[in-house]
């Protein structure tokens, strides 16, 4: 038997991916995956549909939790295999999702004030029902309006973290998110910790603090990490006693990332599974 193919980070139309949860499961089978996690931004809304369509796959329910450090750096933590009835974690995700609306309204206002004509109505046309509202939907609205030609161009010109039009939203502190994921029986993986082109990345001390709170792994093999970054993160993981994962961060047609393009070592997956106190 060949080695199992494990992808622990994907997005659907429950957030800013372009494929429905059922389609992501089909894409996973087409890519000959054995294990796939659905990790939409700040929501578990896609789990039921994904699980119902996960025949032939080991489905891992998850979420990518938006966090902000006390220095204002935004980062993402993947929670995998946690209990979605955990009140504290669910309330935290709801608070983040709710604040994404006024945040979007401010970004739309900032763009309009600067002469990039765009309205909330145009943004809503790009948001699938029930999806976590995000900058990619604003990017899609700007593409539809003819202001830019791709999501990528929208981000690099107008929507990136250091842009004058950027507005943040409420988000938990990283170590708090880790604690909540662990208390809900899941495992916590720091997503793309070295993805510097998205904005500032965090220092070793912040990762050490997350580790003390129970962080399980660093997502080392990710498209946004060059070979040097991967080596540096591997050394840091080994120093801090963390596992290393790999994943695609698939967004359907919303990004170049192909499902299954980065995978997690089966031995690491075995260990993560042992640590999941709550699954399905
Ligand atoms: P938000 O959570 O609303 O701040 O938006 C962040 C999302 O934007 C993340 O899921 C990223 O995947 C996505 N994103 C960031 N940069 C780009 C880009 N250049 N092209 C497409 N999506 C991007
Ligand atoms: Zn995304
Ligand atoms: Fe992310
Ligand atoms: Fe992601």
User: For residue range 194-240, what is the model confidence (pLDDT) as tens digits?
Assistant: 998 777 778 899 999 999 999 999 999 999 999 999 999 999 999 99
Q: How far is the CA of 2 from the centre of ligand 2 (A)?
A: 31
Output the CA 102–ligand 1 centroid distance in Å: 18
The 8-class DSSP code of residue 158 comes to: I
Block residue for tokens 């995700």: 93
Distance (Å, whole) CA 91 – CA 67: 14
- Around ligand 1, the residues with Cβ closer than 6 Å are 16, 41, 66, 134-136, 151-152, 155, 198, 254-255
Helix runs in the chain, H state only: 21-30, 47-52, 87-113, 120-124, 135-144, 151-154, 174-183, 204-212, 227-240, 266-275
Q: Ligand 2 centre from 65 Cα, in Å?
A: 11
**Could you read off the pLDDT of 55-99 as tens digits, one per residue?**
999 999 999 999 999 999 999 999 999 999 999 999 999 999 999
């Amino acid at each position: 038997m060949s080695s199992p193919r494990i992808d622990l980070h994907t997005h659907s139309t429950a957030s800013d991916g372009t494929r429905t949860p059922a389609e992501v499961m089909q894409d996973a089978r087409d890519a000959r995956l054995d294990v796939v996690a659905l990790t939409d931004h700040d929501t578990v809304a896609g789990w039921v549909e994904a699980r119902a369509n996960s025949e032939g796959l080991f489905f891992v329910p998850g979420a990518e939790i938006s966090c902000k450090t006390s220095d204002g750096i935004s980062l993402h933590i993947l929670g995998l295999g946690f209990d979605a009835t955990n009140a504290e974690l669910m309330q935290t995700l709801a608070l983040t999702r709710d604040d994404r609306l006024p945040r979007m309204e401010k970004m739309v206002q900032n763009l309009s004030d600067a002469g990039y004509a765009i309205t909330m109505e145009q943004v809503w046309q790009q948001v699938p029902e029930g999806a976590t509202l995000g900058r990619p939907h604003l990017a899609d609205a700007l593409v539809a309006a003819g202001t830019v030609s791709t999501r990528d161009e929208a981000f690099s010109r107008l929507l990136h973290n250091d842009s004058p039009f950027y507005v943040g939203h409420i988000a938990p502190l990283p170590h708090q998110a880790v604690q909540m994921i662990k208390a809900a029986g899941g495992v916590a993986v720091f997503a793309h910790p070295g993805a510097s082109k998205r904005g500032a990345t965090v220092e070793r001390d912040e990762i050490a603090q997350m580790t003390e709170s129970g962080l399980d792994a660093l997502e080392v093999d990710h498209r946004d990490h060059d070979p040097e970054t991967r080596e540096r993160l591997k050394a840091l993981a080994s120093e801090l006693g963390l596992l290393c994962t790999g994943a695609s961060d698939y967004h359907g047609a919303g990004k170049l990332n192909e499902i299954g393009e980065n995978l997690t070592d089966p031995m690491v997956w075995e260990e993560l599974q042992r640590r999941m106190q709550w699954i399905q």
